[in-house]
């Protein structure tokens, strides 16, 4: 039967089309401190926790020989930009229909996202259909030791659902997320972003059991 015991979903770039907005916010914030982020640097931030990205951008600023802002100073610039841009994030193709189908099939679900609680609440507020997923592992979850690409987020989600990770399907769009799900032992489905360069796309595909053009392509019995 083509049906998992549970499905574990990323949020950004997988259920909601937020990744271009996140990239733009980090790019504009870094520019305020004199650093022009390259496409590869922006891509490497995808799927990771806000705190981890703050640390990484500050390292890049230091490596460029520029005055390094504190984490609070960097976030004070980046967060208002991100909040403004993310208000318009649209659902990804097939996302709502898939969640409704899994609900009807009584398949367990969990949201496994690097975004913190405040960000998740803002992004999900215009999309009440996301409340179908009641179990959530967030980037600032007090039980989370390490974020993606470490396996901890998916292991925690599987434990809370009471299901072995190997019986779970994980859905991701980022390399960090796919590596996290793979390390946790999940069956990994990736939905690559359309703007990925060839090398990044190949690396992402190499982590996956299945590559989908969109969530609309998934077939369930």
What is the predicted pLDDT for the residue at 138? 96
Residue that has been written with the tokens 């841009």 in this structure: 85
Q: For residue 194, is pLDDT > 80?
A: no
The two structure tokens encoding residue 23: 């990239």
Evaluate whether the domain defined by 6-18+89-217 bears CATH number 3.40.50.1000: yes
Please indicate whether the domains covering 6-18+89-217 and 19-86 agree at the CATH topology level: no
Residues sharing a CB contact under 8 Å with residue 106, sequence separation 6 or more, in sequence order: none
pLDDT band at 132 (very low <50, low <70, confident <90, very high): very high
The pTM of this model reads: 0.84
Residues 10, 52, 152, 173: which is the catalytic one? 10
**In the chain, what are the domain boundaries?**
6-18+89-217, 19-86
57 φ, ψ to 5°?
A: -65, -40
Question: Which residue did the predictor score with more confidence, 189 or 88?
Answer: 189
Question: Which of these, 82, 97, 113, 95, lies nearest to 16 by C-alpha position?
Answer: 95
The question of whether 140 is a catalytic residue gets the answer: no
Alpha-helical regions (H) of the chain = 19-32, 39-44, 50-63, 71-86, 95-104, 117-124, 152-161, 175-184, 198-206
Look at domain 19-86 and name its CATH class.
mainly alpha
Q: Please, which residues bridge with residue 188 across strands?
A: 170
Annotated active-site residue in 12, 52, 141, 173: 12
pLDDT of 213 reads 92
pLDDT at 1 over 70: no
pLDDT of residue 88: 77
Are 156 and 143 in contact by the 8 Å Cβ rule? The answer is yes
- Per residue in 2-55, pLDDT (tens digit) is 789 999 999 999 999 988 888 999 999 999 999 999 998 998 998 888 889 999
Secondary structure (3-state) at 199: helix
Residue 55 annotated among the catalytic residues of the structure? no
Residue 16 backbone phi and psi in degrees, to 5: -125, 145
Structure tokens at 214: 């969109």
Length of the chain: 221
């Amino acid at each position: 039967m083509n049906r998992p015991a549970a499905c574990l979903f990323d949020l950004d770039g997988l259920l909601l089309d937020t990744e271009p907005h996140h990239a733009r916010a980090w790019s504009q914030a870094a520019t305020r401190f004199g650093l022009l982020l390259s496409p590869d640097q922006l891509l490497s931030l995808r799927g990771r926790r806000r705190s981890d990205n703050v640390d990484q951008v500050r390292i890049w600023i230091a490596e460029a020989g520029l005055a390094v802002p504190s984490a609070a100073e960097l976030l004070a610039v980046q967060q208002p930009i991100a909040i403004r841009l993310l208000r318009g994030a649209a659902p990804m193709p097939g996302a709502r229909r898939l969640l409704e189908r899994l609900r009807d099939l009584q398949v367990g679900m969990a949201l496994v996202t690097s975004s913190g609680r405040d960000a998740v609440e803002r992004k999900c507020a215009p999309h009440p259909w996301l409340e179908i997923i009641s179990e959530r592992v967030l980037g600032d979850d007090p039980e989370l030791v390490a974020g993606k690409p470490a396996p901890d987020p998916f292991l925690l989600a599987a434990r809370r659902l009471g299901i072995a990770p190997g019986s779970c399907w994980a859905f991701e769009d980022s390399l960090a997320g796919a590596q996290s799900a793979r390390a946790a032992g999940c069956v990994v489905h990736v939905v690559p972003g359309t703007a990925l360069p060839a090398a990044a796309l190949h690396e992402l595909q190499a982590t996956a059991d299945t590559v989908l053009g969109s969530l609309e392509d998934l077939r369930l019995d």
